[in-house]
Amino acid sequence: MNAPLLSQLRAKNRAWAARMVASDRDFFKRLESQQAPEYLWIGCSDSRVPANQIVDLDPGELFVHRNVANLAPPQDANYLSVLQFAVDVLKVKHIMVVGHYGCGGVSAAVDGERRGLVDHWLHPIREVCNEHRHELAAIPDKRARLDRLCELNVIRQVRNVASDVIVREAWARGQSLCIHGWVYSLADGLVKDLDVSVTQPHESERLGDPRCDGI
């Protein structure tokens, strides 16, 4: 049952809570009263990519949705529910799709091995890989090729978010909302802005046609 390990986690929780109160005695009172984040983070489930810590935000300042390989599939009810709550209820101003270099999900999508259910989940990445096959094939180094696929996957997910009816309706009613594409580096802890931010429907056109090979 690994009870000692869980006890260690509970002890760490108590120590963390004590530190937070010691530095800010009203911290939990504020958290309890309201959730009003300005940001939605759509990121990878990888345990090495802690959303709040990467951008140095406290609990309550970042609304987070994470899944394997930071996908935003238009048929996924979980992602769509988070998106709708963030946009319609919390009125977030920024949505960041954040991938990371060295992503195991991206690698697993294209390594040819079969793992079961997750293969279906990762299928959109194989589609991205196929659409950009010529660009990717021109990169001789495997690691660099996978890193580029991580970037291309983020760009595709930004396009998915920008094309969703929830986001389009928010823009139509004049709501301020910007979608960004970032990639996080495990090597140095820094995020790279892919310069694919979208603030209006027509801006998503520059992210490319899904039928074309390249951006």
Query: Which residues are marked as active site?
Result: 44, 46, 48, 100, 103
Instruction: Report d(CA 17, CA 12) in Å as an integer.
Output: 9
Tokens of 150: 């991580």
Assess contact for 161 and 95: CB atoms under 8 A: yes
From the list 74, 76, 69, the residue with the least C-alpha distance to 42 is 69
Size of the chain, expressed as the number of residues it contains = 215
Phi, psi of 138 (to 5 degrees): -80, -5
Element (H, E) at 9: helix 3-23
Assess contact for 69 and 44: CB atoms under 8 A: yes
